[in-house]
Structure 1
Amino acid sequence: MEEGGDVKGVFTRFCQLSDAIKTAAESNGKSLMYKENLGFLGTCPSNLGTGLRASVMITLPELNKDPHKLEEICSQYDLQPRGSSGEHTAAIGAKWDISNKQRIGFSEVELVQKMIDGVAKIIGIEEELAKAAAGGDEAAEGAKEEEPAAGDAPAKKDLGSFKLPEIEAEFDKWLTAQLENSPADVKDTDDFKYISFTELPPFTEKHRSLMRKNMTAELFAKLKDTKSSKGYSLSNGMQAGVLRPHLGVGFTCGDEECFDLFKEIINPIVKGWHNFDPDTQSHKSDLDPSKLAFTEEQQTLFAKYVKSTRVRAARNISGFSLPPGSSKEDRLAVEGVLKQAFEALPDNLKGQYFPLGSLSTEQEEALQAGGFLFQKPGPMQLLGAAGAGRDWPEGRGIFHNESKTVLCWCNEEDQCRIIAMEEGGDVKGVFTRFCQLSDAIKTAAESNGKSLMYKENLGFLGTCPSNLGTGLRASVMITLPELNKDPHKLEEICSQYDLQPRGSSGEHTAAIGAKWDISNKQRIGFSEVELVQKMIDGVAKIIGIEEELAKAAAGGDEAAEGAKEEEPAAGDAPAEGGEANPPADAPSE
């Protein structure tokens, strides 16, 4: 507190006090009472969430003449006026205590910002009323124009530069009306607006996502008013799938609570995409690279055929929003934790963090040349349609070590995408560095009183349900001249080993120069070690088939017969856990 109106200074000291208490608790092996769905805990349920009351004592002589009118105006801005004896009482000397009305569902910054903005509007109304009292009806009319009309709060959106896609005429008309009548969302920016759907969207035949297939009118009605404590709603999660009909999943999560609040739509999506049922199955994690079996024979084959190896996955920190629902404050806080993790890496992984917003031309060109730079998501992409590109590039950045064998993306699709890679086929070495990165982020989160987002039935959590479980993709770039002659045959062989081949332009495309990207197909239901092991064993078999086909091409039918014997028969490699098996009509996100 202090005399005067320096709200930012007062709030800064409040935050310092809060941080000091948190630090003292942690130094004693304790933590502050906090639950993801309730916020900070306390004696009385009326003070959960932030528990915060930000108030100013302000003199309002004109509005004091009609306390009921002042209450109505404050209500439009989610504020609460208190007179000399509390709520609904007169104010002696026209001195009013005005504060935020809400406590939970908004962050501390959001509530203080609401108070600042609302009080500024109220002061404007007071000044216009004072002019009217001194100068006649014309000024009074101006005051009325400034005053928000009953029913206008929350106000309709200022659409800024946000544009809707063109899908089909009737659907576009419906979507435009939904947008124009949506209340303002605290997450809105000039170039992105969140839509609050009042009814189940009248999906077109172009809408092919699992969200569309599983969202019934009854389920929509049940969940449409549900929001997480950070303000992420069912409509927020659906928006990408509504605006972008081609998406296969069509639903994004804005924070950790979504996986419980919206499990009735998320779990069927997971089951449809991964052939894994979160309601009956559980996931397991294993990040011990010493458990990998990589025989000398396999190492020799990989050294000969594999051009490069890469292992990547996402990590998200509990307590902060995911990018589609993130505030500036959460985004910067995540960046701070990740910087701490990067500073604590072992010598072989030490490197530099490059904030996207302050890259020099030389740095940008170097990152671009290495294939490390990520761009703001376009409006047709999942992330662009979900709101993950707001406030770009603030809070985003790239880390890589000196040898460029580890890479981290900060606040892209997820809070952190970790990638380990190198030229050649040393899969175990690459996976070891991946595990070191994951452990470093986990340690940094825990040192800040947080943890990684994880659920027993879903594994590591992230923005898109297609990347739950391990969220891991372990891949090799490999040259296969003989199998390249029949890409369909290569796909069939890979499928036997739960692997997925990608050509030069992605799945189901040819490979220029016969260079194929081959990776694990599954994400959930198996541990990280198991999936990397599947990739090693499967690729070794594929190399064996390639060699036999090469012999056959050079030496006749006898060698060709040997190649057939090496090729796995249908059904020889059954999956025991979840299989990444998106429906044929649901393209990958």
Structure 2
Amino acid sequence: MLDDVIQTGVDNLGHPYIMTVGCVAGDKESYEVFKDLFDPIIEEQHGGYKPSNEHKTDLNPDNLQDSDDLDPNYMLSSRVQGAAASAASASPQHCSCGECRAIEKLAVKALSSLDRDLAGRYYTLKSMTEVEQQQLIDDHFLFDKPVSPLLLASGMACGIWHNDNKTFLVWVNEEDHLWVISMQKRGNMKEVFTCFCTGLTRLKLTSRLQAGVHIKLPHLGKHEKFSEVLKRLRLQKRGTGGVDTAAVGGVFDVSNADRLGFSEVELVQMVVDGVKLLIEMEQRLEQGQAIDDLMPAQK
């Protein structure tokens, strides 16, 4: 019903750091039933993406350029993540408990088939120990309960899986049926993207994508033009502790603001190119120099 669709917007009046949408689609059919509501919102959120547009995909890491040498003096970590959903089921926000359990069972079966560098273990939120929960929080794999009001208004996670190397993880029944993440320390975005693409291929999934980094920008982060620079680069910032946190010590979580209308490679490339410019600006400011000549054009 419409009141289910708009509940997130009723409970949360926007967000201070990222662009959010005050409605949630309960299933694939919602996009047709509530077309008059969803279409203009999607167009606004995704840079003019219209119902007639077709999303393009490119999961070839070899097409990514200059992405394996982001400056480690500024880069703390790199990640690529994306959502995958089943068109045959309602979204997690509107699934029954039985549907969530069925999806979880299928997901765990698929994840258990992963081997070699992607072999790992699944943890359910309802049965994990306090020690396991704290370890997942310390690894930045899990929210601190979770407690985000944006998530509580629309649905909660059922569990999380990660490989033994802690470089590839999957949330089950959180915002989407599956939320796939590849991550590692420092700045080799190509390795991260390659791992992400390998995981999707082995699981036979497709996904919309978000690439992001944890980056130290103590000078640029205080600059009056920082927000404008991010906007022109089609990037967004938040704190490193999750969607509801602010930056601490000049460390920001920076990611692409777009999801539709660009291929996976294009979105990751957008982050790589943008981060390199942010680092160059930070270096200028460290030396007391102006950054006006480095201001980018609007992408």
**TM-score range normalised by the length of the shorter chain:** 0.7 to 0.9
- 1:142-541 alignment runs, 5 A limit: 233-242=1-10, 244=11, 246-247=13-14, 248-294=20-66, 299-374=68-143, 381-386=149-154, 388-389=155-156, 396-442=158-204, 470=208, 472-486=209-223, 488-503=224-239, 511-541=247-277
Amino acid of the structure 2 residue aligned with 1:251: C
Aligned match of 2:17: none
CA contact (8 A) 1:303 1:426 kept: no
Amino acid of the structure 2 residue aligned with 1:285: T
Q: Secondary structure at the match of 1:436?
A: helix
1:281-316 CA-partner distances (Å, limit 9, x unpaired)? 332122221210126xxx444333211112222111
Q: Secondary structure at the match of 1:303?
A: coil
Distance 1:499 1:350, change over 3 A: same
Q: Secondary structure at the match of 1:325?
A: coil
Structure number having the greater helix percentage? 1
- Distance in 2 of aligned mates of 1:401 and 1:497: 33
TM-score normalized by the length of structure 1: 0.46
CA contact (8 A) 2:168 2:183 kept: yes
Distance 1:370 1:276, change over 3 A: same
- Distance in 1 of aligned mates of 2:159 and 2:241: 26
- Distance in 1 of aligned mates of 2:42 and 2:270: 22
1:321 Cα offset (Å): 1.7
- Distance in 1 of aligned mates of 2:109 and 2:215: 36
TM-score normalized by the length of structure 2: 0.86
CA contact (8 A) 2:137 2:144 kept: no
Which entry has the higher C-alpha Rg, 1 or 2? 1
CA contact (8 A) 2:12 2:150 kept: no
CA contact (8 A) 1:482 1:550 kept: yes
Q: Secondary structure at the match of 2:153?
A: helix
Is there any run of 5+ residues in structure 1 with no aligned partner, and where?
1-232, 444-451, 453-459, 461-469, 554-559, 575-589
CA contact (8 A) 1:501 1:507 kept: no
Moved over 6 A (4+): 505-510
Distance 1:508 1:549, change over 3 A: farther
Distance 1:322 1:506, change over 3 A: closer
CA RMSD in angstroms comes to 2.7
CA contact (8 A) 1:315 1:438 kept: no
The alignment-based identity, stated in percent, is 36
Count of aligned pairs: 294
Amino acid of the structure 1 residue aligned with 2:275: V
1:506 Cα offset (Å): 7.5
CA contact (8 A) 2:49 2:261 kept: no
1:82-114 CA-partner distances (Å, limit 9, x unpaired)? xxxxxxxxxxxxxxxxxxxxxxxxxxxxxxxxx
Distance 1:310 1:384, change over 3 A: same
1:484 Cα offset (Å): 3.2
Distance 1:505 1:320, change over 3 A: closer
Q: Secondary structure at the match of 1:513?
A: coil
